[in-house]
Structure 1
């Protein structure tokens, strides 16, 4: 019987990483000014990672007998987790943000750490599915840009099959890679009528050929040949014999030149003589459930935020670690909209006076940031002081330029909410200060050294080191639009 002392081995090797005696590799990780140099032993890394083995073989020793590598595409935080896994064979994901775990997944694939790569895929799908859904567009696009993400791809395709509008009605559909579209069309359980699928692939094919005439009546045979070549891999996946005769006439007939003559003949033959044999392959019908499936997020009448944002804010109100994905326990009632009710702070107090549990959101002019916060207290136009709250929070919401939302909860409860009607301002501590006219006065800002809330919700370059007046024009901003909602539990 063989006795295995893996725990002691893991611990000793981890100690070697912390005290790198006789190291012969230095790896500069991350981008300045947040870069860091790791001192590594090549024989450990190359025994665990084929990628590192190749890199070491291609790199010569410098005058100090050390091989120097640079990996600016991996963050220090991610690489620190990876190198501890390589040395000690252990990993802890509990305290890592989901965005970091996803970056860790991509890095482990690049470094050919197969065991870790598979573990992280399963971890995200089994334990963090809500985050994957919330960041669906980014996750799905990455799954087709990075090799070997089959588990993530299957997860995404399953969502698309059940909620096809997630991708077909998204702004990213027309730029969808061909292999991604094919993987969707191959699904028997895609919950879409076949004629609608046909319309989508025609739309996608045209987007790949922007020089095609917009008016179909002007198309030449060459134009149809161009589109047919683009859709060469997609056309065989359409279930033509499960399209109604009405849609064959209305939707297929104008594009009949895309189809082989024998297929077009068989489609029409099957309509006129259903019992007659044909030579074309008849694919099985899609397994449509017959139930109207809910969309991934509830449509929300806001000029600033989306249904996904509302679900995320609702989960923060309930202090849930995993965001709500479809069923929202709250109603959001619009109280104030800048473009409708004005952008001055004082009238906000008049409209919201004595109303509690409100969410403020605003879109920053010029940057596209979405900032805001949750105020559980009643608005009070007769108060000029900070108010105590344990449940308020400020935030930056995920946008195209911000991969993940930032949540900042109040930590100094006595300074949670600032009511100053007479001075025309309102604040979440000093995390977010809204002052005067939000549209034109450019007096809104976030404080660099706010001690009242946990985190900064803007990057340092946009923060003011002094409270008022703010230190520079760069640290102040106007709002393109802002809204305030009353939040109530659904009955």
Structure 2
């Protein structure tokens, strides 16, 4: 049987790194005031790094008094200290290292061909919450797209920006990002930005990237036909990524129309048909961007499906819906009384329910609210009342990301769209979908006030419940 004693080996090698007098390499790292010398052993460096194996070969080295002198001005002393500790001891602690330095460590470990360290640092970065990198997004992007094998970081950076798109898009850093990064951002459905802001900044980025235009102070009156042609060439691949159907007619007239010359003719004609004739474009077929929702129950991709069910006539309203969380069972408590206290009054509301022992999700949309709505309908008695709505619906998803097996049941008896009853938290259509005895969800549609598409007569125990006011 083989016994392994890595702990003592690491300890002994640390003594070699910190106290040995038999070193044969002096490595100078950093520049100017931030410059430092490290002493090391060529045999260990060559064994642990393919880069040093080549760089310290006899044909590359510079010697002074039988000592190998090696310069790495592009790596800072702090970063190289971490790398040496890893090389000698196989240890690394990133808990007290700044985001900026971790990104520099990623670049350095890639340059020195230390694959294990590179993979560890990349995994560490992508395990952090998305706001961890916000202060260093530009550096992170430059790092991610400089390193072609750093796909995890590329995706992580894009996800981070999509969480807080506006602050990055309006920043100065946006105007200097690479076109590959810009393309990846604009094609994302979950980019959290107003589409006219994306258009404005795209134009500014294009002007910045087009030689000669930036010198005209963005004054279109001074542009020649050749200037428009040059800008068109710069932005040609990005124009189809703009969701023109999310831009209002007034914004189109003031901000899109002046740049007619840079938009492909067929796309521009389709945009005009959309605004003047309400004909949806065929060339620019990307769907509206998904708006962020503070939900622990569903993923953003399902929000678009729900919004499409809500939205019927306003073709460019999809992107303008906002979901404000007003009740979450895991925070406020799951009970009829709590639901009624948090979710009362006339409002456009969405309720989502995750049930126990299943991935299944149920929900309902009410254009009028859930209870204590008003006195606009028949008061049957002191404890119950029906309310009218022609827009309400209930639905189900198989899981938090399911886009294939969703089911929707529209209200068919408008006079009984919502049943306001003291014994329930909410009740769509008198027993179609209702919360009862504080923690149970009934889905049976016994009175057929909604379409019978959910096809269930089960009683579920509620694991999580959320309610949103929709603006």
Contact map agreement 1:188 1:285 (CA 8 A) in 2: yes
For 1:258, the equivalent position in structure 2 comes to 262
Aligned equivalent of 1:168: 169
1:108 matched to 2:109? The reply is yes
Aligned residue for 2:463?
none
Alignment of 1:197-208 (within 5 A): 197-208=198-209
Matches within 5 A, 1:337-356: none
Asked whether 1:27 is paired with 2:58, we answer no
2:166 touches 2:192 (CA, 8 Å); kept in 1? no
Structure 1 residue 291 corresponds to structure 2 residue 292: no
1:178 is matched with 179
2:37 alignment partner, SS class: strand
Contact map agreement 1:144 1:153 (CA 8 A) in 2: yes
CA 1:100/1:192 → structure 2, altered by over 3 Å: closer, same or farther?
closer
Distance 2:242 2:280 in 1: 21
Distance 2:262 2:100 in 1: 43
Partner SS for 1:112 = coil
In the superposition, relative to structure 1, how do residues 190 and 35 fare at CA in structure 2: closer, same or farther (>3 Å)?
Answer: closer
Query: Could you tell me which of 222, 227, 233 is aligned with 1:223?
Result: 227
Cα distance, 1:62 vs structure 2: 2.5
CA distance in 2, matches of 1:287, 1:95: 36
2:285 equivalent among 282, 285, 289: 282
The yes-or-no answer on 1:123 pairing with 2:97 is: no
Q: Does 1:48 align with 2:79?
A: no
- Distance apart, 1:224 and its partner CA: 0.8
Q: What residue number does 1:87 align with?
A: 88
- Offset of residue 176 of structure 1: 2.9
Cα shift at 1:149: 5.0
CA RMSD, Structure 1 to Structure 2 (Å): 3.5
> C-alpha separation between the residues in 2 aligned to 1:34 and 1:137?
23
- Output the CA distance in 1 between the equivalents of 2:40 and 2:251: 64
Q: Which of 42-51 and 146-155 deviates more? A: 146-155
Normalising by structure 2, what TM-score? 0.53
Show the counterpart of 1:459. none
What's the CA shift for 1:140?
A: 4.8
Partner of 2:28: helix, strand, or coil?
Answer: strand
In the TM superposition, residue 169 of structure 1 has moved relative to its aligned partner by 1.8
The answer to whether the Cα contact below 8 Å between 1:163 and 1:293 also exists between their aligned partners in 2 is no
Q: CA deviation at 1:201?
A: 0.5
**1:87: Cα distance to partner?**
1.7
Greater C-alpha radius of gyration? 2
Kindly indicate whether the alpha-carbon contact (under 8 Å) linking 1:59 and 1:67 is maintained by their aligned counterparts in 2.
no
Q: TM-score w.r.t. structure 1 length? A: 0.51
In structure 2, how many angstroms separate the alpha carbons of the residues matched to 1:276 and 1:94?
51
Question: Which 5+ residue runs of structure 2 have no aligned equivalent?
Answer: 293-320, 326-471
Report SS of the residue matched to 1:172: helix
CA distance in 2, matches of 1:229, 1:117: 38
Q: Tell me, in whole angstroms, the C-alpha distance in 1 between the residues paired with 2:253 and 2:99.
A: 49
